[in-house]
Structure 1
Amino acid sequence: MTHFATSADGTRIAYDRLGGGPAVVLIGGMFCARPATRELAGRLAERFTVLNYDRRGRGESGDTAPYAVRREVEDLAALITEAGGSAAVYGHSSGAGLALEAAAAGLPITRLVLHEPPYGSDDEDERRTARELAENVQAALKDDRRADAIKLFLAASGMPPETAEGTAADPDMQAIAPTMPYDFEVMGDTARGGAIPEDLARAVAAPTLLIAGSASPPFFRDTATRLTALLPNGEYTLLEGQDHAAPADQAAPVITAFLAADPQR
């Protein structure tokens, strides 16, 4: 059964509620709605009450223009209220960027798990490339060239052209493509060229776990270690043999152990 929370601007946010125990909210990344985190939700539900939701503009959730990152933070705040007033939060990829924004904004987050947030380096050439990609994707979407927008992003991520072509033709991918600029805003690609928001990291009080995979591109591990050093209460875990799409059976035990740890630790 789908549940709905109402955000501060009146947008209805769809979510599943599973399990029992302390609450944890799951946040997916670009192109992801509830199905992408459903298996992880099921595994975590063995120990926790899990709220697995569709970010605004995706799945069964509504959307309200104009977009702002603070509105997605408000969406998460509404879900935490539904969870009982406080919750742990897990974010994957750009969902981890949103989780960081929310924690820095002071939402009642008890513990935070950031799984491969895709921030880039401070190198100006890399920042310029990130800004250009965001601008080119936005231009394609403005012209309703959804497949082109998807291909631009996937090519920049290193996907082979023939694979990107097939993925971009998927109706489900095209349906969610208009939310791609939301993720660019969350990650600061236009404003900062995707560099780590050091001020936000330093403002996070909650115990925070950074996760990266040994088979992922090196920048994910570099970002995770840099963020861990910036956070007042951060720790880092490497998932051996895993990449950005680490399966639930590999990620869930690490997340469970961290979320269930003694709060005085």
Structure 2
Amino acid sequence: PPFSADTDEDRQEARDYAETLTALLSDNRRDDAVALFFHTTGVPAEAVAEMRHEPWWADVVALAPTLAYDSAVMGDLSRGGSLPVEVATRVAVPALVLSGGDSPDWMIEAGRAAAAALPHGTHRVLPGEGHVPSPQTLAPVLTEFIARR
């Protein structure tokens, strides 16, 4: 889960992102909205500039309006993107939160915090994996978690 750290600075950054994203989408500046998303998640400006020339970029730009839904679900405006602990503590089912070991530290910390807030939460770091783990790594971890249930 891409929750923000629970600091004033991080909550303000999430709110700023949501406000800028809303303005870009209202102006139908989808390309810039996608670039904003990538910048916000830590992709360097040079890499985003290169990505804009990739054949798949147009497909991603077509999905830009869904970024507003993600932002709303994450509570970027309402909570500054911080973990909704009051909601997480009410989740009664076992939950597995996974983080790729090669992901940015803030992503791993968000995973740890989410698992800690869940009454039956477990956090695992998948060594050598990034934000999107390989099926070969993911399948056995999920199989083991489900089998224990």
Q: TM-score, normalised by structure 2?
A: 0.91
Q: CA deviation at 1:153?
A: 1.4
The answer to whether structure 1 residue 186 and structure 2 residue 70 are counterparts is no
Unaligned runs of 5+ in 1: 1-116
RMSD: 1.4
Q: CA deviation at 1:218?
A: 1.1
The answer to whether structure 1 residue 248 and structure 2 residue 135 are counterparts is yes
The number of residues matched between the two structures is 146
Structure 2 residue matching 1:193: 3-state secondary structure: coil
Q: CA deviation at 1:201?
A: 0.7
Indicate the residue corresponding to 2:48 in structure 1. Answer: 164
Q: CA deviation at 1:208?
A: 0.8
The separation in 2 between residues aligned to 1:202 and 1:208, in whole angstroms, is: 12
Indicate the residue corresponding to 1:224 in structure 2. Answer: 111
Which region of structure 1 is more displaced relative to structure 2, 130-139 or 169-178?
169-178
Indicate the residue corresponding to 2:35 in structure 1. Answer: 151
Check whether the contact 1:118–1:220 (CA below 8 A) recurs between aligned residues.
Answer: yes
Give the % identical residues: 38
Q: Which amino acid aligns with 1:124?
A: D
The separation in 1 between residues aligned to 2:132 and 2:123, in whole angstroms, is: 18
Q: CA deviation at 1:226?
A: 1.9
Structure 1 consecutive aligned stretches of length 4 or more whose deviation exceeds 4 Å: none
Q: CA deviation at 1:189?
A: 0.6
The answer to whether structure 1 residue 139 and structure 2 residue 139 are counterparts is no
Q: TM-score, normalised by structure 1?
A: 0.53
Q: Which amino acid aligns with 2:72?
A: E
The separation in 2 between residues aligned to 1:227 and 1:180, in whole angstroms, is: 21
Indicate the residue corresponding to 1:128 in structure 2. Answer: 12
Check whether the contact 2:96–2:145 (CA below 8 A) recurs between aligned residues.
Answer: yes
Check whether the contact 1:167–1:173 (CA below 8 A) recurs between aligned residues.
Answer: no
Check whether the contact 1:205–1:232 (CA below 8 A) recurs between aligned residues.
Answer: yes
The separation in 2 between residues aligned to 1:256 and 1:164, in whole angstroms, is: 36
Q: Which amino acid aligns with 2:89?
A: R
